[in-house]
Amino acid sequence: QVQVVESGGGLVQPGGSLRLSCAASGFTLDNYAIGWFRQAPGKEREGVSCISGSGGTMYYADSVKGRFTISRDNAKNTVYLQMNSLKPDDTAVYYCARTNLYYCPQKAIPRVYAYWGQGTQVTVSS
């Protein structure tokens, strides 16, 4: 059974850092691109980042470039999202998702991602 499970969310002050983890099971992680999305209350789900199966290609939304870093450890079946210099606008539920592709889709469209985790809440507030 294919599963992705997020962890690592929490409450952090502006300017702080968090590292989210996405633990995968039921499939070979390095065969698939993995993405991170977020959804704030009243807003559409937004693509944040994506990493290809090998980890050689990564994409970021303009709003997080230079602050967030995606990485993967295929031996641990885990993808990470390191989030630095967090802002209140980063507050959202963060989801990881698996495509059926090796490379990241050209556009971060949720319907391209086949499997989703339950999400982890990130709140940036003083």
Q: How far is CA 73 from CA 36, 51, 56, 82, 102, in A?
A: 15, 11, 12, 13, 15
Average pLDDT over residues 88-114: 93
Average pLDDT over residues 96-100: 95
So what's the pLDDT on residue 107? 81
List, for residues 33-84, the tens digit of each pLDDT value. 999 999 999 999 999 999 998 888 999 999 999 999 999 998 999 999 999 9
Structure-model confidence comparison of residues 68 and 105, the more confident one: 68
So what's the pLDDT on residue 109? 86
List, for residues 15-32, the tens digit of each pLDDT value. 999 999 999 999 988 899
Average pLDDT over residues 91-116: 93
Greatest Cα pair distance, the chain, in angstroms, is 40
So what's the pLDDT on residue 74? 86
> What three-state secondary structure class fits 125?
coil
